[in-house]
Amino acid sequence: MKKMRLIIALPVFCFAATAFAQVKPEKVIHYRQSVMTLIGWNFSTLGAMVKGKIAFDAKQFSKHTGRLAFLAPQVLEGFTKGSDKGAETDAKPEIWTDFDDFQAKLNDLVNETKALDEIAKSDDEAKMKDQFKKTADACKACHDKYKAD
């Protein structure tokens, strides 16, 4: 029975992997831009709270940090090989020529968003604001080097 499941599962897995590898570059670009838009939406609310433009609300802050911690790990999927062309994008070519550094910067963002989400559960406003700045720095490090203005 186990062999039968393996015989059935293997072709299904191979088909799925092949189908994923054949995603058109414009779809990948749309995906990454969508994830970035969602990150920006949530990040802007946090920034407004940190800067005092809107009232600080720990519950809302935590809601948005949870979203960021969920979204940040998804960014890398939007930078598959071949997605440097196919639609209008602000991604610089350096992403693909220095992919290890780009990936390291994305990993920093993932780690900072996770830390931000954990700290947001503590209800310590000062710590939340401090970690928000570290998370913003992780965003900026990548944007400064790999995003066209």
pLDDT tens per residue across span 67-85: 999 999 999 999 999 999 9
User: What residue has token string 């992919």?
Assistant: 99
pTM of the model: 0.83
**Distance between CA atoms of residues 139 and 62, nearest Å:** 19
**Tokens matching residue 3:** 């062999």
pLDDT at 6: 45
Q: Is the pLDDT of residue 3 over 60?
A: no
Average pLDDT over residues 133-141: 98
State the Cα–Cα distance between residues 128 and 117, nearest whole angstrom: 9
Instruction: Give me the pLDDT at residue 7, please.
Output: 54
Question: What is the predicted pLDDT for the residue at 133?
Answer: 98
CATH ID of 24-146, from 3.40.309.10, 3.40.50.2300, 3.40.50.11540, 1.20.120.10: 1.20.120.10
- CB burial string 71-82: b at 16+ within 10 A, e below: bbeebbebbbee
Return the percentage of the chain with pLDDT > 70, whole number. 86
Helix axes 58-71, 99-120, angle to 10 degrees: 150
**Distance between CA 128 and CA 134 in Å, rounded?**
10
Does the pLDDT value for residue 8 go beyond 60? no
Contact 27, 89 (CB under 8 A): no
> How is the chain split into domains, by residue range?
24-146
Of 75, 114, 111, 110, the C-alpha closest to 95 is: 75
Residue 22: the pLDDT is 75
Assess whether pLDDT exceeds 80 at residue 21: no
- Residue 109: how many other CB atoms lie within 10 Å: 22
| Average pLDDT across the chain, whole number | 90
Task: Report the pLDDT value the prediction gives residue 123, as an integer from 0 to 100.
Answer: 82
